[in-house]
Structures are given as C-alpha cells and as structure tokens.
C-alpha cells in the first residue's frame, strides 16, 4: 500500500512539473522593429557629416515627434500599419520659437514584412523602401534639405545608415 501511495505521489509531482511553462518575458536586447537611421551631411562637402543644431521631426498625422539638438545621426520610426510615412523635418524645430521654423516634408514609401520573433516578443516589422520612389522630398521653394540619398533600402536592423540627408 505504501508503495502505491509513493508511486502515485511521484507521478503527480512529475506531472505538475510537466505543466509548468517558462516565463513569457521578451529579453532586453532582442531585436525589434527597426527604426530608419538617418545621417546628415554638408551639401557642399558631401563626405562631411554635419550637425543639425536644432531639429524637430514630427509625424503630422498623429502629431507625435522628436526633438534633436546638435546631432548628425538620428533614428526615427516608420509606421508599421501603412506603406508610407510622412515626416516633417523642422529646421529650428527643437526650440520654442516657431517663427523661425522651416518645415520640409519627407515621405518614405515602402513595403513591410512581419517576422515572428518569439511567443514572448511577438512580431517585428521590417521595411523595404520602394525601388522607384523610396523617399520623396516635397518642394516648397524654401527647402533647407538639398538632397536625400538612400544608402540601404532594406531596413532590417539599426546597425547601418539607411538614408543620408544633405543640407
């Protein structure tokens, strides 16, 4: 009788461990949806990085934005639920004085691909810039951005520069 009780308890204990699951926590450092990496260059000396002293970047549809001060490289997100994202790059846009703002609208055209990471992390979205019109700069007669060059059309990580802006 003792043997039957021992075997039964052992089986119950073993089954209880089989039903345990690992914690579903997405580990820090797991690659997620990448942002587009943009570097700024001097339009007259095209190989020279140039700091943007006061830059605001706003996605006008949702009025969400970022402010940057004295940077030559930025990371900004693209919309995962669309195939275009328009961002307003605002020269003098990180200060409170709006009278000196110069806004240039830049539209990114892309296809997306959702990639499964894990049960804990879910999916990430990768972006592939359109080969014919990857980035469009709206001209308004007062553009501070002179030229835009796509250096890496496949936005799959944040380890490389995807776009260069010359001003």
Q: Please state whether 138 falls in left (phi above 0), alpha (psi between -120 and 50) or beta.
A: beta
Q: Please state whether 48 falls in left (phi above 0), alpha (psi between -120 and 50) or beta.
A: beta
CA–CA gap between residue 40 and residue 163 (Å, rounded): 9
0.85 exceeded by pTM: no
* The pLDDT of residue 18: 55
In this predicted model, what pLDDT tens digit does every residue of 83-124 receive, in sequence order? 999 999 999 988 888 888 999 999 999 999 999 999 999 999
* The pLDDT of residue 13: 53
Sign of CA dihedral 79, 84, 89, 90: negative
* The pLDDT of residue 161: 98
User: What's the mean pLDDT when you consider all of the chain?
Assistant: 89
């Amino acid at each position: 009788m003792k043997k039957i009780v021992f075997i039964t308890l052992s089986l119950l204990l073993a089954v209880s461990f089989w039903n345990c699951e690992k914690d579903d926590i997405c580990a820090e450092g797991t690659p997620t949806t990448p942002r587009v990496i943009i570097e700024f260059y001097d339009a007259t000396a095209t190989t020279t990085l140039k700091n943007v002293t006061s830059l605001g970047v706003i996605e006008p549809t949702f009025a969400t934005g970022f402010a940057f001060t004295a940077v030559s490289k930025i990371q900004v997100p693209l919309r995962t639920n669309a195939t275009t994202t328009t961002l307003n790059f605002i020269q003098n846009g990180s200060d409170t004085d709006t009278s000196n703002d110069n806004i240039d609208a830049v539209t990114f055209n892309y296809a997306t691909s959702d990639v499964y990471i894990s049960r804990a992390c879910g999916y990430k979205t990768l972006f592939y810039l359109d080969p014919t019109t990857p980035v469009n700069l709206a001209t308004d007669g007062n553009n501070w951005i002179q030229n835009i060059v796509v250096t890496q059309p496949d936005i799959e990580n944040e380890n490389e520069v995807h776009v260069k802006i010359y001003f």
